[in-house]
Amino acid sequence: MKLPLVPLLAVILSCSIGDATPLVYDTEGHELMSNSSYYILPVEEGGTGGGLKMSYEWKRCNFFVAQARGKAEDGVAVRITPPGASVYDPIFNPVAVHLSTDVTITFDVVTVCVESMYWHISDKSPLSTTSNPRQHVAVGKDEDADMPFPPSPDMLFSIERYDGAVKGYKLVSCNSTGPYENLGLHAFKGKNWLTTSASALVVVFKKGHRYA
């Protein structure tokens, strides 16, 4: 008997599958909330590095996402929010973060830059002029460009459960070019960069400290 593959494919092409999905939990077992910040840490014991952070300012206020070098380093905390929320909503109307739904991710840091440090996938790549099959996760836009609202698809990600040899979560890009793509680490010029990747980086979320 032939199975109807096409309808199944159509279902997995969308990142956002609605609200009735399970929640995401931090390392203390609490729900991930839009009013808190979290370090994104690799789950694997004996891994070669720490949490995710912004790295390599290739242009003023434009960075790429990379892994902190030291195993003990947490990196830079992020805020994870549903894309419909206004800037103040996450704080005044906190919501829990659901699995498999679109979210925006922004580094929770104070910078001199006009724009917040929103993650987006980019065709640019750090320290390289040759074309690259991977897309890097970048932060920061052109200083005079407005942050699109609602966020453009390149700014949308989702969190999926990862249930392999190690247990945790993986991050996927929800850009509209096709099925979602895993985010993983790509070693290049002495750093592990966060890129679209065949093998997902398995992560956990550790609650961070609010910037006062």
104 binds ligand NAG (CB under 6 A): no
Measured distance CA(64)–CA(121) in Å, rounded: 9
Q: In the bound complex, what is the minimum distance in angstroms from residue 43's beta carbon to ligand NAG?
A: 24
Sequence-separated (6 or more) residues with CB below 8 Å from residue 119: 65, 78, 104, 105, 106, 107, 137, 138, 139, 155, 157
Closest C-alpha to 156, from 98, 102, 90: 102
- The total of other beta-carbon atoms located within 10 Å of residue 17's CB is 15
Using the Cα atoms of residue 66, residue 85, residue 16 and residue 209 in order, give the sign of their dihedral: positive
Is there binding between residue 102 and ligand NAG (CB under 6 A)? no
Residue 122 CB contacts under 8 Å (≥ 6 apart), including other chains? 64, 135, 136, 137, 138, 154
Residue 194 contacts residue 52 (beta carbons within 8 Å): yes
Binds ligand NAG (CB under 6 A): choice among 59, 177, 187, 209: 177
Tell me, residue by residue from 43 to 82, as one string, x for binding to ligand NAG by CB under 6 A and - for no binding.
----------------------------------------
Under rule CB under 6 A, residue 135 binds ligand NAG: yes
- Strand runs labelled E in 152-202: 157-163, 167-173, 181-188, 191-196
Stretch that binds ligand NAG, among 51-59, 75-83, 143-151, 175-183 (CB under 6 A): 175-183
Q: Is 158 in the site for ligand NAG (CB under 6 A)?
A: no
Q: Does 33 bind ligand NAG (CB under 6 A)?
A: yes
**Nearest distance, CB of residue 88 and ligand NAG, angstroms:** 13
Q: Is 153 in the site for ligand NAG (CB under 6 A)?
A: yes
Question: Binding residue for ligand NAG (CB under 6 A) from 26, 36, 54, 81?
Answer: 36
Q: How far apart are CA 139 and CA 136, in angstroms?
A: 10
Interacting residues with ligand NAG between 6 and 25 (CB under 6 A):
none
From the list 55, 81, 101, 175, which residue makes contact with ligand NAG (rule: CB under 6 A)? 175
Q: What six digits make up the tokens of 135?
A: 């897309």
Using the minimum distance from each CB to ligand NAG, give the nearer residue, 9 or 166.
9
For ligand NAG, the binding residues (CB under 6 A) are 33, 35-36, 94, 121-123, 135, 153-154, 175-177, 210
